[in-house]
A and B are shown apart, each in its own frame.
Chain A
Amino acid sequence: MSPTTAAATAARSARFTSDDNLAQNRDTYKNAYLIDTDPKPIEPFDKDWGVAISGNTPEPSPFERINKILAITAKTTNGFVAPDAAELVTQAYREHSGEPALLKRAYAVGKILDEAPVYIFPHELVVGCLCCDKKGAPVFPEFGFNWVVNEMRDGLMGYSEKRTHDYFTYTPETQERLEKLRDFWDGNTVEDMTRSMLTDDVIKGSHDGKGVFFADAYIFCGAGHLGLEFERLLKLGLGGIRAEITRYESELSISDPADIEKRAFYKAAGIVADAAQRHVNRYAELAEEMARGESDGVRAEELRRIAANCRWISRNPPRTFWEAIQLVNIAVDLVYIECNGHSVCYGRFDQYMYPFYKRDVETGASTREQMQELIENFFIKVWDLNKLRNHILIRTFGNGGIGGPALTVGGITRDGGDGTNELTFMTLDAHAHIRIPCPWLAVRMHANTPWELKIKVANLIRMGTGEPKIFNDDVAIPSMLTSNVELHDARDYQVVGCVEPDPSGKAYGWKDCGHMNIARVLELAVNDGRCYNCGEGCPRWERCGKVGGRLGLATGSLADFTSFDQVLDAYDKQMEYWCDRQIALLNTVDLVHRKMYPLPLLSTFMDGCVESGKDVTAGGAKYNFSGPQGVGIGTAGDGLATIKQLVFDEKRVTGRELLDAVTANWEGYESLYAYVNSDRVHHYGNDDDYADMLAKFAMDTWCKHVERRPNAHGGFFQPGAYSVTVNVAHGQNQWASIDGRKAFEPVSDCMGAVHTKCSSHDVRGPLAICKSVTKLDHARATNGTLLNWKFSPGALAGDVGRENFIALIEEYIHRKGMHSQFTVANQETLLAAQRDPDEYKDLLVRVAGYSAYFVELNRALQDDIIGRTSLSFD
């Protein structure tokens, strides 16, 4: 730090301490003394990294080791296919063909953990991998296998014009090895059984039909979107968990049929728990072997420490920060190896790690700098993980990598206080020091969040990498209470995946299991159950439109409605019809998971399963949910507002004319198209109750038909209100719409306003957005909500920009908005990056739910991000 910068920083700190705002905070907030605490985090709380510089800084970390690791870390989610696990699973299934699925799974996972290769990478202090090299993606043939070998055969897995991002390379040998497994798995996977159980009445609206709803995440992938119970893991250690399994098993009756079933679970859990311990020891052995061959004495000593750490935690609870972070990292890897899901999350990192941090500082076992370095090392390791996805899924989920590895800091503690501590700050600094989009950081805030943390978060956000997201305890916690979550568990929630609040390590929540395009539901509602573009071009034409059929429920036509209430009623009935079908599909997949894909290893890490003797897929966890989300709230809301205003209130057009205009994709209706897209029509996002209340109705109706419906693992459904990036894919499936959208344009994203090719419908700035969005019922969307903000850098520059930005966040929290994410970028930068991708390889942007390298996204998604209204005033 130069003397001038040091002086400036000192001056700023001095000013902050005398600030009126802070003085007030100090009276109110017991944790507001962070700047005076000892020990101090290694960076000042108000460290400013600049505005909109994104990832474009060479060697961002103060640690040489971290910069060296960054130098050998590919800034991409492209990867390669790793075939070892698939072969081992196949062998295990052959050897144990007559045994229940639970045991087959246990033997298969055990075999991978014992026999698949393990790696320790250069410079690292924390080890673990998915039994393959960096960016390798294991294959899970049990889930669905034909698509893997078919895509390899058809050239859809690797790079091609059809797959320009998120592609996976493979050697001819890999392809050959996997082809050999094809016959064994053909017809015997989760995907195969699911398809056999579905009827056309369910499929017709799905991703395999007309795309009213998607529900593919858990068909092609395993369960994820959950966390481990880290506190228990760190307290008991792997050995302690093994001992619990033995203890519960020993208490079973020999003849009770329920206990006979439980015995199978404990047997499976024991097999994987033993294998997990042996697996961690394999790292110890590898590290010792590498240490013997290491010529650099310092590195050799590090490897010996790694070996000692792994040896210890394979049996015992961790004693130091280093051992604890090692166990956390490897435990999540273990679950990924078993589950084939994405978004296995890291929980409330600053809470469960704090006792280790505090003890190390007190005993001198490690310095804050060493712990900071470990956190950064651990973060980069999360980015190294990867997951195989088919060429369709990557369209809706670009640059996702392993997908959804969220990590939560801040927020209210189990007993109701504020949990902010030094680690909260160090965790956020770690992101600024590495600037790669992993893990997906969530900061929990509430009315009493310390002011210093807000400064830290604002500085991080305006840096422009899109991290972190902000969650609001003041609505997320009450929302969880409505789902029967106990108060202290609700306060202890983590954020999983892109959006979802989750009782950490206690819930098998099936978050993000599907999404409903509620704008498409409006189309079918006002067009008597038919698509606007019904005709010969449709693959279902022969059995649907041609024979007088219709895709949805006959709910009448806008051409005939005589009052707006009839429109609302039609939408309500149509929504119920489609929710029935989506839930049918999701529950079918859920049943198949339970039958074919139990998760004994995950079960040992979750609250409730070992106690109850039930696998998570069978409802063993303490809480059980399924969470699909509604997409297109703005599009549906503006559609309703347009109908109400133009057809019924002003009678400017007839219902027939409006239907004709959208059916014609607005061709020949240019003036109406312009009018509908102008600020003459009430639009959601402008603090205008006329439109905002209709967006609320659109969302509430979705929630009403989803919430509390029973699911197949002993719990119930929770509605979400967000799209992440799937609004683009839903739009590509949808003809024009009444809100002024032309065919195939994206529908509105998350809780955002409509932006069509013609205009952005929100025209009154960020305060109006804040107020409109918070008129929606966030607490009711128990599976989470999301608002994507996009700011031009000038809006956040300087002290003035930052303070007003914080005020905006505070007001959003005050008004019970649940969740915000932020893009801070120049429009010009994004356009330049499209033109010249090689120059912008480090440009991180917020997609929705996560940050991604902009140049690795597909064009449609890039355009969607560029099109979001930029909030600016200079």
Chain B
Amino acid sequence: MLHTTPSGEPCGLVSNIQKYTIHDGPGIRTEVFFTGCPLRCLWCSNPETMAPYRRIGVYPDKCISLQKCGYCVKACPLGESGPLRFDEDGILASASPSERCAGCARCTDECPSRALKLWGERMTVPELMKVIVEDRNFYRRTGGGVTLSGGEVMLQWEFADMLLRACRDASVNTCVESALHCAPEHMEAVYEHADLVIADIKHMDTNKHREYTGAGNELILDNLRRTARLGKKLVIRTPVVFGYNGDEENIRRTARFICDDLGGGIIQYQLLPYRKMGTEKYDSLGIPYPMSDYEPPERAEWEARLLRLRDMLALEYGLPAVAGSSGKLEPGGGRGDASR
């Protein structure tokens, strides 16, 4: 899906640009989050990136009130009959998308206190490159660069390809983080200019996978095999949610898949601890948090369990496994340090 600006230029729909990320690829990186995702993982911490269109988030705590401010309503072409709803004190309550709202987002532009936040900016390649090259010295010093993430990068594969090309031209190292639930030819197009790929294996059982993410895992595992065959430098991640996919059997199955189907030649296998994050973003979008009732184990316990799994992966399967994403990735993409 290729978005365009009002003037017809190709652009990406970007929910956020995060600078100084150090956990998604080697070195210091700038991470570009693409909007729109085909999966609906229960533990997703970026709900603003789910829908493939612009969303308006509402933060009532920041609202000054209709009486003292009211800039949003004044800016809205639909005026008081627009999507903005207020409580009896004049505090913003919701921004229900309606058919009449064309998503012009003028209300978010005008809101002085950022009680209205637009998720999903249209940004062109030159606009993104301007931000990306700001930190070029830091990339050089640390072997860092750009990571495209989301959402699902592959949904906007044409734009991703254009952006990655521009990064290559600017000598900026590139990394793509994807769930790989996509058409293989889109994936391959994006890979052309990607130095490193970070991909998830969320569950090896396709039924469980469907239950937790809304889709089976066949396409993803196929794409992973294809990625390995292409010789792409690959980091595998499992977001470990105990009670869902953190059981030993599933991790062993994942390990066997990596060894047998991917040839074991991955750079790192990261076991990421689940943290309840992004709930305030769910609230701002009026979406219920799917795992609101889930109680993770105590920190000491999940840490111990994660480390046991890591040791198992390293000792029994010889995989470069790490707990968390703080393990060093070599800038050149060489085999990382498996000891931590």
- A residues apposed to B, CB below 8 Å: 8, 11, 15, 670-672, 674-675, 678-680, 687, 764-768, 771, 795, 797-801, 803-804, 807-808, 810-811, 814, 871, 873-874
List residues of chain A with CB within 8 A of the CB of B142. Answer: 803-804, 807
With A765-B19, A798-B326 already in contact, the answer to whether A671 and B340 are too (CB < 8 A) is no
B328 in contact with A804 (CB, 8 Å): no
Q: List 17 A-B contacts (CB under 8 A).
A: A11-B339, A15-B337, A675-B113, A680-B112, A765-B19, A767-B19, A768-B19, A795-B22, A798-B340, A799-B326, A799-B328, A803-B142, A804-B20, A807-B27, A807-B28, A807-B141, A873-B18
Residue in A11, A675, A811, A873 whose beta carbon sits within 8 Å of that of B21 in the complex: A873
> Is residue B12 contacting chain A, with contact meaning CB distance below 8 A?
no
> Is residue B121 contacting chain A, with contact meaning CB distance below 8 A?
no
- B residues apposed to A, CB below 8 Å: 18-23, 27-28, 62, 64-65, 68-69, 71, 112-114, 134-135, 137-138, 141-142, 144, 324, 326-328, 337, 339-340
Residue in A11, A671, A680, A766 whose beta carbon sits within 8 Å of that of B20 in the complex: A766
**Chain B min CB distance to A295 (Å):** 49
Residue in B69, B134, B137 whose beta carbon sits within 8 Å of that of A670 in the complex: B69
List residues of chain A with CB within 8 A of the CB of B135. Answer: 767
A767 in contact with B328 (CB, 8 Å): no
Residue in B64, B113, B114, B138 whose beta carbon sits within 8 Å of that of A767 in the complex: B138
Q: How far is the CA of A98 from the CA of B69 in the complex (A)?
A: 74
With A671-B64, A767-B28, A798-B326 already in contact, the answer to whether A804 and B22 are too (CB < 8 A) is yes
A675 in contact with B137 (CB, 8 Å): no
**Chain A min CB distance to B116 (Å):** 12
B141 in contact with A800 (CB, 8 Å): no
A674 in contact with B113 (CB, 8 Å): yes
A670 in contact with B68 (CB, 8 Å): yes
Residue in B141, B326, B337 whose beta carbon sits within 8 Å of that of A811 in the complex: B141
List residues of chain A with CB within 8 A of the CB of B340. Answer: 798-799
With A767-B19, A767-B28, A814-B137 already in contact, the answer to whether A800 and B69 are too (CB < 8 A) is no
Report the number of A-B residue pairs with Cβ-Cβ less than 8 Å.
86
**Chain A min CB distance to B121 (Å):** 13
| CB closest chain-A residue, reference B62 | A674
**Chain B min CB distance to A796 (Å):** 10
**Chain A min CB distance to B66 (Å):** 11
B22 in contact with A873 (CB, 8 Å): yes
B328 in contact with A800 (CB, 8 Å): yes
| CB closest chain-B residue, reference A799 | B328
Q: How far is the CA of A670 from the CA of B68 in the complex (A)?
A: 7
For B20, B134, B340, which residue has the most chain A Cβ atoms within 10 angstroms? Answer: B20
B327 in contact with A671 (CB, 8 Å): no
**Chain A min CB distance to B22 (Å):** 5
List residues of chain B with CB within 8 A of the CB of A11. Answer: 339
**Chain B min CB distance to A786 (Å):** 21
Q: How far is the CA of A687 from the CA of B20 in the complex (A)?
A: 14
List residues of chain A with CB within 8 A of the CB of B19. Answer: 764-765, 767-768
**Chain A min CB distance to B340 (Å):** 7
| CB closest chain-A residue, reference B137 | A811
A678 in contact with B326 (CB, 8 Å): no
B327 in contact with A873 (CB, 8 Å): no
Q: How far is the CA of A873 from the CA of B29 in the complex (A)?
A: 11
A801 in contact with B326 (CB, 8 Å): yes
A800 in contact with B327 (CB, 8 Å): yes
Q: How far is the CA of A671 from the CA of B324 in the complex (A)?
A: 42
For A674, A797, A814, which residue has the most chain B Cβ atoms within 10 angstroms? Answer: A674
Q: How far is the CA of A771 from the CA of B20 in the complex (A)?
A: 13
Further pairs besides A799-B326, A804-B28, A873-B22: 17, Cβ < 8 Å:
A670-B69, A671-B64, A671-B69, A678-B112, A680-B112, A687-B134, A766-B20, A767-B28, A767-B138, A768-B134, A771-B134, A798-B326, A798-B328, A798-B340, A804-B27, A811-B137, A814-B137
Q: How far is the CA of A674 from the CA of B71 in the complex (A)?
A: 12
With A768-B19, A800-B326, A874-B23 already in contact, the answer to whether A678 and B137 are too (CB < 8 A) is no
B141 in contact with A674 (CB, 8 Å): no
Q: How far is the CA of A577 from the CA of B118 in the complex (A)?
A: 47
List residues of chain A with CB within 8 A of the CB of B23. Answer: 800, 873-874
| CB closest chain-A residue, reference B135 | A767
For A766, A803, A807, A873, which residue has the most chain B Cβ atoms within 10 angstroms? Answer: A807
Q: How far is the CA of A789 from the CA of B112 in the complex (A)?
A: 28
Q: How far is the CA of A810 from the CA of B22 in the complex (A)?
A: 16
**Chain A min CB distance to B62 (Å):** 8
A803 in contact with B328 (CB, 8 Å): yes
A674 in contact with B112 (CB, 8 Å): yes
B141 in contact with A873 (CB, 8 Å): no
For B137, B144, B327, which residue has the most chain A Cβ atoms within 10 angstroms? Answer: B137
List residues of chain A with CB within 8 A of the CB of B20. Answer: 765-767, 804, 871, 873
**Chain B min CB distance to A509 (Å):** 34
Q: How far is the CA of A766 from the CA of B19 in the complex (A)?
A: 9
A801 in contact with B22 (CB, 8 Å): yes
| CB closest chain-B residue, reference A680 | B112
Q: How far is the CA of A300 from the CA of B327 in the complex (A)?
A: 53
Q: How far is the CA of A680 from the CA of B21 in the complex (A)?
A: 24
Q: How far is the CA of A687 from the CA of B18 in the complex (A)?
A: 14
Q: How far is the CA of A99 from the CA of B328 in the complex (A)?
A: 71
List residues of chain A with CB within 8 A of the CB of B65. Answer: 670
Q: How far is the CA of A81 from the CA of B122 in the complex (A)?
A: 67
Q: How far is the CA of A15 from the CA of B327 in the complex (A)?
A: 14
| CB closest chain-B residue, reference A771 | B134
List residues of chain A with CB within 8 A of the CB of B69. Answer: 670-671, 674
| CB closest chain-B residue, reference A872 | B20
Residue in B22, B137, B339 whose beta carbon sits within 8 Å of that of A800 in the complex: B22
Q: Which 5 A-B pairs have the closest CB atoms?
A: A675-B112, A798-B326, A674-B113, A671-B69, A674-B112
| CB closest chain-B residue, reference A15 | B337
Q: How far is the CA of A457 from the CA of B246 in the complex (A)?
A: 38
